[in-house]
Amino acid sequence: MKLYTFLLLIFLTNLSKAQTHRFIYEYKFKPDSSSTNYRNVNMALDINPKDVKFYHYENIINDSLNKKGGRNYNWNGTPAVKRNKNSYQNINYEMMMDYFSYTTEDKMDWKLENETKTSGQYTLQKATTDFGGRHWTAWFCKDINISEGPYKFRGLPGLIFELNDSKENFFFKLAKSQKLEKTYDTSDFLESFAGKKPVSVSIANMHKMMLQFYNDPTKEMRQKFDDVPPGTFQVGGTKITSKEQFKEAAKVIQNFIAKNNNPMDLKNAVVYPVIN
């Protein structure tokens, strides 16, 4: 009820243009498409006067601790994107061996359906689209005149409340909203992360680096092995105490990467070779 009351107040009051609307989505997803297990996290959608940002809500909590002198940085592999207002061009942020960013153009063609349902005091309308090699269903509210939604999904005549793909790998559900008096500064965990500015790359180069790491995931550890005490490196909970262990450790890492390779956007996904 608090969510719906606040959403109503957004449009019954004359808000300052400098304010930010923050919507919190419950995000349920399968890292492994063949598994029945889901991960559940909260994601923040910040609709600012000039841009839109989507990222893990935990970053806000960690950022508050870091501003008090902490050093709590945790990149958990969830989407992180930024775009200008009313734009389909997204800056994507990724953490691998380093912090990277790349740009994608993500125009979506929606089909509005006649089907509706209620959510609290709101009427939601169904819409469908094909994006990233997947078929998606969204439920949006015309009464909330914000043409945005989670991740890269936007362009409907109202705010997206719910979103999922047809194979039920990904679910988003609006859970909470906040009004911020000024735009929240994300420069310590989005535009940079743990003090690192992102290296701007193309998707092709991004894929090249990901494949290079996949093909030889223990390279950096091997190079540093003689300079650190035995057992400094661990892979899959096993301490590396001899160079002979690196071959098996590489297979563990490769299997983990391949198994947890279930991106929302299949068309811009790296394809990993099978390792025997």
Of 209 and 65, more confident: 209
The pLDDT score that the predictor gives to residue 67 is 73
pLDDT tens digit sequence for 109-121 = 999 999 999 998 9
List all residues 6 or more positions away from 227 whose beta carbon is below 8 Å from its beta carbon: none
The pLDDT score that the predictor gives to residue 276 is 66
As a whole number of angstroms, the distance between CA 247 and CA 244 comes to 7
Q: Which two tokens stand for residue 204?
A: 């092709």
For the chain, list the domains and their CATH numbers: 2-180 (2.50.20), 202-268 (no CATH)
Name the strand (E) or helix (H) holding 11: helix 2-12
pLDDT tens digit sequence for 26-44 = 999 999 999 999 999 999 9
CB atoms inside a 10 Å sphere around CB 224 = 11
As a whole number of angstroms, the distance between CA 101 and CA 42 comes to 22
The pLDDT score that the predictor gives to residue 44 is 97
Determine if the pTM surpasses 0.85: yes
